[in-house]
Structure 1
Amino acid sequence: MFEKDATIGGCLTQKIPSWRLPREVALRDLSVIAALGIEVRTGVEVGRDIALSALREEFAAILLLPGFAGAQRLLSLLDGERPPRHRRLLAADPVTCETGLPGVFAGGDAVSGPATVISSLALGRRAAASAHRFLTGADPRAGALPALPSPLLWRLDIDEAERKRRERTPVMLQPFTPPLAEGEAVEEAKRCLDCSCGLCVKDCEFLASYCRSPKELARQVKTGVKDVLKMVYSCNICSLCAEVCPVDLDTGAMLLAARREAVRQGVGPLPAHKPIVSYYRAGVGATFTLAMSEPGRQRSKRLFFTGCSLPAVSPRNTLAVYDELRRNYPGTGVLMYCCGAPAELIGMEADFARTCQAIQENAERFGAEELIAACPDCAHTLKTGLPGMKVTTVWEALAGRWSPPALRAGARVAIHDSCKAHHEPAMHDGVRALVAGAGAVIEDVEYAREKARCCGSGGMIYPVDPKLSQRITQRRADESPLPMITYCAGCRSALASRGKETIHILDFLLHEGDIQAVARRKPTGSLARYANRLRTKWAFRRLQPTAAR
């Protein structure tokens, strides 16, 4: 055990007053560490006194439990090899506490943010249990508890100096703090909810169209969802607002909750959503869905989750990427199914839950432990709806394994990152590795990776406010004069609809010919999309075992 301070205990013994947690109780519990023969090295800070890479070389598994403030310091100290971050915290799988670095787990306030002692201990114990399963060679998800519930919306995590300025700090040396008078409470609430920096409004066409600040937007929602339905259904739910906000305020999360409330009240979804609902119903119906193990096998450890968009625009590309998955990951089956994003994004909670249940049942039927998604939106949605399932994307799975032909030597391109991949650095890196491997020169736009802007079609807003959707698409298209590569078929269709030279990454990697001609191709029409999904399904059914080809 490596401890930055001179003694172990952290907040338990140094910050929390004894009337809340008696010091002798905390010390008694901590004495178990020495009794178990665990070596403790105090005065050693990871990132300053010893590198994380050195720890990984010496130990088979590592638990990062630095606390909330420690997480921010740890991320600032580490150079090169570091665990992924989620804003100011360590990013970890909600079920297994895996960080993305093999053998490195994280838990406690470093992952959840400021929490109670009990919840922090529970998350630390979860990380330890996963590390134990990892060391014994067991599946980290086998027997793991379900993910903890998400924190409340609009929670503000601010530094201590700002908290003292804006809040009436409790007196921790006495068992209670005198309550605020009504007038004091009102004034404190006004300051706490003050939202005037304007960074999100500057970067968001939707916010600029409907309000001057998220505070004003929240007041509109509070007056009654049914009175502001067009506004509620006009947000892309892309979370860029949270990325640029100094306190991570996610306006989209509030509006997604408002959409669910609209459905509960019977006023949502809107009549304009009828085509979307029909497309979603087709995506989960028997005609357009398929679940199968790899030809020649009864069970499949992994399933290629095609989603709706890629099969709808290119059966050939869908089959080609599956061929590479079979080659690199033998035993990979197929699941053609809608991820449920249309239902989730228009507030149809019950339908989304049924879709997730059906996907889970199909995976269990074939013994699948992992879903490899073709679409970043599908991957995001699956991780939201199935937190116990391992989900990755083809770009992460194939980067470093697949070497497409170098057909694009010297081509200069920009990459449009999906807004649903904000916190997926492995996906960003995988896409760029494949594009660079084809010989292309990548010039990143300003709003890339974790700050990627929406293509304009996110949140199912087009039928509700088409002019706003088009403005958002045009703003994204204008970020670069170069052809844009997307790894979401839906993003490609949106950008191409405004005349932007856009090419899906699979067309870029696999098909010879003039890149400009492919990039100028018009989006696939509605009827053709349905027909292509059937062609893809039939093509999958005709596949033979690998050895028979």
Structure 2
Amino acid sequence: MKDPAHRWQWHALDAAVGAVTADCTECGLCVKHCAFLQRHGTPRAMAAHADSGHENGLIVAYECSLCGLCHAVCPFGVNPAQFFLEQRREAVLRGVGPLAAHRPLLAYERKGTSRRYSLYALPEGCTTVFFPGCTFAGTRAEAVLAMHDLLRRSLPRVGIVLDCCTKPSHDLGRQAYFLAMFGEMKDFLVNQGVRTVLVACPNCYKVFQSYGSPLQVRTIYERLTEEALPRQDLLRGTVTLHDPCVLRHEPAVQDAVRSLVHHVGLQVMEMPNSRERTLCCGEGGGVGVVAPELARQWSVERARQAEKDPVVTSCAGCAAQLRRFMPTVHVVDLLLDGQRALAGKARVSRSPFTYWKRLRLKATLKRRFSSARLRERTFQPKP
């Protein structure tokens, strides 16, 4: 007998299966763009053979990057990624997911939500907070401080939150845990009078957009187009852009990043797959720890499309993944010191120093906000 949560999830999976089998015509367009589907079959075939009693089909869903390209190219609006996400949630409820290979991802997330690494710094009258996210804060701690200084010029009471949005748990199917952790953070911010969250991480943007109401969410890239940015000598040359896959349906954010690139003097050469039809960098959905060859195919294809142009992106995770295959810089690196960034000398920390950087950043912010309301996260959901 399924408990109420499991019954609800079973119906959600059943609905996702029904949507795919009803509308997918097996035209093959999504398969053409996706190595995962080339390996396992069309969405309709996978949904038609989804056996509620067979665990192997649920485990296969962890090889999907959840990037949503299948949905973007489908002429009939089918969303296979939602079907694979529901399969992951079902796997968790049955105790077969997440997989052992996902332990490092979950350990990284636990650190982000821990008392040691988290910090909420809210000045009196704070209604807007800067939420840099785990990867951006760890790899670019100095940039976090610089961005906060910029924001304070027009938002003198802007606060800052060092925490994890728990998107890894969300994407791995741990929906109950995710809703409890993110919900506690959201409720705290709302109860403290916060109304707007400015994020640096596209994944954080997606989480706040989908689950953060009544909080309003914007990226710092949109906000920076409205700020007086630091002056520097204009750069020359051409770059190409990698739009993070979670922002494929966010033209305002995409336009803001392009505007910032043009602001420093660079021209943009668009890749064949950009904006709504952008590709995954290879990091999406935690595929790299389960099927690294599939993750690598995304990265290699991105390198092929970039040709010889340096790649600019607004995602610290994408930047870390893609720089293994091609010169890649974060758009904030361009804004702070474009010459060094294009020369591959931007101040970017790498693991394990990223953890030390996050602790130093927290200590600096505690001094900066010595008179503000400070909080460290201690909440953990009940089993």
TM-score by length of 2: 0.87
Q: Distance in 2 between matches of 1:494 and 1:322?
A: 26
Q: What SS does the corresponding residue of 2:312 show, helix, strand or coil?
A: strand
**Mapped partners of 2:51, 2:80: distance in 1:** 13
CA separation in 2, counterparts of 1:511 and 1:314? 13
Equivalent of residue 355 in structure 1, options 162, 167, 181? 181
Q: Distance in 2 between matches of 1:214 and 1:458?
A: 19
After TM superposition, the structure 1 stretch with the greater mean CA deviation from structure 2, 443-452 or 396-405, is 396-405
Query: Please, which moves more after superposition, 385-394 or 192-201?
Result: 192-201
Provide the residue aligned with 1:541 in structure 2. 366
* Structure 2: 5+ residue stretches without partners: 1-11, 372-383
1:487 equivalent to 2:314? Answer yes
Higher helix content, 1 or 2: 2
Equivalent residue in structure 2 for 1:527, among 329, 333, 352: 352
Determine the C-alpha separation between the residues in 2 that align with 1:382 and 1:544: 24
Given the alignment, which residue of 38, 57, 76 partners 1:208? 38
Q: Compared with structure 1, are the counterparts of its residues 225 and 370 closer, same or farther at alpha carbon in structure 2 (3 Å cutoff)?
A: farther
Which secondary structure does the structure 2 equivalent of 1:248 belong to? coil
**Using a 3 Å threshold, how does the CA distance of structure 1 residues 411 and 545 change in structure 2: closer, same or farther?**
farther
Matches within 5 A, 1:378-397: 378-397=204-223
Contact 2:235 2:266 in 1 (8 A): yes
Contact 1:225-1:232 within 8 A present in 2 as well: no
Structure-2 change in CA distance of 1:448 and 1:404 (3 Å): farther
- The answer to whether structure 1 residue 153 and structure 2 residue 16 are counterparts is yes
Q: Structure 2 matches for 1:490-501, cutoff 5 A? A: 490-498=317-325, 500-501=326-327
CA–CA separation in structure 1 for the residues paired with 2:102 and 2:242 = 26
Unaligned runs of at least 5 residues, structure 1: 1-148, 157-188
For residues 215 and 132 of structure 2, what CA distance do their matches in structure 1 show? Answer: 16
Distance 1:358 1:380 in 2: 17
| 1:457 alignment partner in structure 2 | 283
Letter in 1 for 2:136: L
- What letter matches 2:365 in structure 1? F
Which residue in the other structure is 2:27 paired with? 197
CA contact (8 A) 2:59 2:88 kept: no
The residue identity in structure 2 corresponding to 1:421 is L
Offset of residue 410 of structure 1: 1.7
Counterparts of residues 132-143 of structure 1 (less than 5 Å): none
| Paired position in structure 2 for 1:325 | 151
TM-score w.r.t. the length of structure 1 is 0.62
Counterpart AA for 1:361: D
What pairs up with 1:29-68 in 2 under 5 angstroms? none
Report if the CA contact (8 A) 2:24-2:78 is conserved.
no
User: Which structure has the greater CA radius of gyration?
Assistant: 1
Compute the displacement of 1:472 (Å). 1.1
Q: Is 1:221 aligned with 2:50?
A: yes
**Cα gap change, 1:495 to 1:522, in 2 (>3 Å):** farther
Q: Displacement, 1:509?
A: 1.3
For residues 522 and 470 of structure 1, the distance between their equivalents in structure 2, rounded to whole angstroms, comes to: 26
Counterparts of 2:29 and 2:244, CA distance in 1:
21
Amino acid at match of 2:39: S
Shift of 1:328: 2.2
Residues 406-451 of structure 1 deviation map (CA, whole Å, 9 limit, x = unaligned): 4442221011101011111110111111110111111111211111
> CA 1:408–1:479 in 2, change beyond 3 Å: closer, same or farther?
farther
**Pairing of 1:500-515 with structure 2 (within 5 A):** 500-515=326-341
1:221 CA drift (Å): 3.0
- Report the Cα offset of residue 246 of structure 1: 0.6
| Inter-CA distance 299–222: structure 2 relative to 1 (3 Å threshold) | farther
1:55-454 pair list within 5 angstroms: 153=16, 192-211=22-41, 213-222=42-51, 224=53, 226-293=55-122, 297-454=123-280
Tell me which amino acid in the other structure corresponds to 2:30. C
Contact 2:17 2:47 in 1 (8 A): no
DSSP 3-state at the match of 2:288: coil
Q: Secondary structure at the match of 1:513?
A: helix
How far residue 372 of structure 1 moved from its aligned partner, in angstroms, is 0.7
Paired AA for residue 173 in structure 2: G
> Over residues 69-91 of structure 1, what are the superposed CA-to-partner deviations in whole Å (9 max), with x where a residue is unaligned?
xxxxxxxxxxxxxxxxxxxxxxx
Partner SS for 1:228: helix
Query: For the residues of structure 1 that align with 2:102 and 2:129, how far apart are their CA atoms?
Result: 30
Secondary structure of the residue aligned to 1:357 is: helix
3-state SS, counterpart of residue 365 of structure 2: helix
Aligned with 1:309: secondary structure? helix
Q: Deviations over 1:3-25 (max 9, x none)?
A: xxxxxxxxxxxxxxxxxxxxxxx
Cross-structure match for 2:375: none
Amino acid at match of 2:89: R
Looking at structure 2, the residues matched to 408 and 469 of structure 1 have their Cα atoms a distance apart, in angstroms, of 36
C-alpha change, 1:277 and 1:220, in structure 2 (3 Å) is farther
8 Å CA contact 2:140–2:348 kept in 1: the answer is no
User: Is the alpha carbon distance of 1:511 and 1:429 closer, same or farther for their aligned partners in structure 2, counting shifts above 3 Å?
Assistant: same
Equivalent residue number for residue 134 of structure 1: none
The one-letter code of the counterpart of 1:441 is: Q
Shift of 1:194: 4.9
Q: Secondary structure at the match of 1:246?
A: coil
> Which residue is equivalent to 1:87?
none
* Number of residue pairs matched by the alignment: 358
Task: Give the whole-Å Cα distance in 2 for the aligned partners of 1:524 and 1:474.
Answer: 24
Q: Distance in 1 between matches of 2:341 and 2:115?
A: 37
